[in-house]
């Protein structure tokens, strides 16, 4: 993998670049639709390619490990062959999913024991077997196994957790170097910066990740994890600034699990290149649409006789169907409602980062961001 930094904004830390993988190029800043179990919920891959304009999607190690399982994925020739997505894929390590299963998991030095949410069976994730699992899944970009502590963790817990994450990271790197890709194309490992909301821990974590990136020397970037888990938004932005001050400028930076359109623009201004979040599809399935003019609840009666396009500047589906029709579909509880809303939201998120990229290159990103950010959060 390579990362070419093409343009740095003179008035902020925003950047435009190109990531090149064996499955194609990714123009940054980029939003990555979440395809947890090998699918982006409710959206065909043809729609992801042609309407959403997705350049890379996510898969999740935890969910794919449990179902369909590693044997099926190995026989299929990896996730790309299994689901027919021919562009880049990134896999999360499953650390966040295991973290969110508090009560049915046990952390220890070796790894993390957990019970399957499907059938209650017991499993363990170690740095070594997660690397092996991600090799079998075959994503272009792999995440290291980490612990994601709650946003309100006290300092001592956060420090202990970071120590465990750093030791796990070193074991991940060792296993990654000992193994080879299984399907004839290269894979890249991204370490994850943790440290909760404590400045000194985030700084320590970022410095450690810099050392690891030097060891890997494979063109990969770094992930910023453990944010958007309950801490105030201002604190999240501060932690991004603290970390990005230390991370190398010639590597991509990935902010995990974030967030709203406003969050994304604020993080781009602070030097983040890559984003993922379930919000576009999850909110879409619940009738909430994101637009440059604000959010729309398509169940509201005000849309009942609005025969204007869903979004006149949006993708083909947005221009084809009316607000009244989508309102009707949600009221009738038709599956197509959730599909149209998901496509719209994902296409909007991709449009947002594409517009941001164009304004970074044009040199007026900060002015453009100021002109759109307040409206993004309004309710229509």
Cα-Cα-Cα-Cα dihedral sign, residues 73, 75, 78, 79: negative
Q: Tell me the DSSP string of 190-221.
A: EPEE--TT-HHHHHHHHHHHHHHHHHH-SS--
Residue 276 known to be catalytic: yes
Strands (E) in the chain, as ranges, are 2-8, 15-21, 24-28, 30-32, 57-60, 89-92, 105-107, 112-115, 122-125, 141-143, 188-190, 192-193, 222-224, 253-255, 274-276, 288-291, 294-297
Q: Report CA 43 to chain centroid distance, whole Å.
A: 17
Catalytic residue among 13, 146, 204, 276, which? Answer: 276
HSE-CB of 22 using CA atoms within 13 angstroms: 12
Q: How far is CA 310 from CA 288, 290, 321, in A?
A: 12, 11, 6
Residue 218 known to be catalytic: no
Cα-Cα-Cα-Cα dihedral sign, residues 44, 297, 326, 372: negative
Residues 6+ apart with CB under 8 A from 137: 59, 61, 64, 73, 78, 79, 91
Catalytic residue among 9, 13, 92, 146, which? Answer: 92
Distance CA 333, CA 309 (A): 20
Cis peptide, bond prior to residue 29, ω within 30 of zero = yes
Query: Which residues are tagged catalytic?
Result: 92, 276
């Amino acid at each position: 993998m390579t990362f070419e930094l093409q343009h740095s904004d003179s008035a902020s830390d925003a950047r435009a670049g190109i990531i090149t993988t064996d499955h194609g190029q990714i123009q940054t800043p980029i939003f990555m639709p979440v395809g947890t179990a090998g699918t982006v919920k409710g959206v065909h891959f043809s729609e992801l390619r042609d309407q959403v304009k997705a350049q890379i999607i996510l898969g999740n190690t935890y969910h794919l490990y449990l179902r369909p399982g590693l044997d099926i994925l190995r026989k299929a020739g990896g996730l790309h062959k299994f689901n027919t997505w021919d562009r880049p894929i990134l896999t999360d390590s499953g650390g966040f999913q295991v973290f969110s299963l508090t009560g049915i998991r046990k952390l220890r030095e070796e790894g993390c024991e957990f019970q399957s949410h499907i059938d209650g069976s017991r499993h363990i994730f170690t740095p070594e077997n997660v690397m092996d699992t991600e090799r079998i899944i075959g994503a272009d970009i792999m995440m290291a196994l980490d612990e994601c502590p709650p946003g309100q963790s006290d300092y001592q817990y956060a420090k202990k957790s970071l120590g465990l994450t750093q030791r796990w990271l070193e074991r991940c790197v060792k296993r990654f170097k000992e193994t080879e890709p299984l399907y004839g194309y290269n894979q890249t490992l991204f370490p994850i910066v943790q440290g909760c909301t404590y400045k000194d821990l985030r700084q320590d974590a970022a410095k450690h990740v810099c050392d690891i990136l030097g060891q890997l020397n494979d063109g990969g970037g770094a992930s910023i994890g453990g944010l958007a888990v309950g801490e105030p938004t201002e604190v999240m932005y501060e932690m991004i600034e603290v970390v990005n001050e230390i991370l190398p400028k010639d590597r991509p930076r990935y902010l995990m699990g974030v967030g709203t359109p406003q969050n994304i623009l604020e993080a781009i201004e602070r030097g983040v290149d890559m984003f993922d979040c379930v919000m576009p599809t999850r909110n879409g399935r619940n009738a909430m649409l994101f637009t440059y003019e604000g959010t729309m609840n398509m169940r509201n009666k005000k849309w009942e006789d609005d025969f204007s396009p869903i979004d006149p500047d949006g993708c083909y589906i947005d221009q084809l169907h009316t607000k009244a029709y989508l309102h009707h579909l949600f009221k009738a509880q038709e599956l197509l409602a959730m599909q149209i809303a998901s496509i719209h939201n994902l296409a909007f998120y991709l449009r947002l980062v594409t517009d941001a990229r164009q304004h970074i290159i044009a040199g007026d990103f900060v002015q453009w961001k100021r002109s759109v950010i307040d409206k993004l959060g309004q309710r229509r």
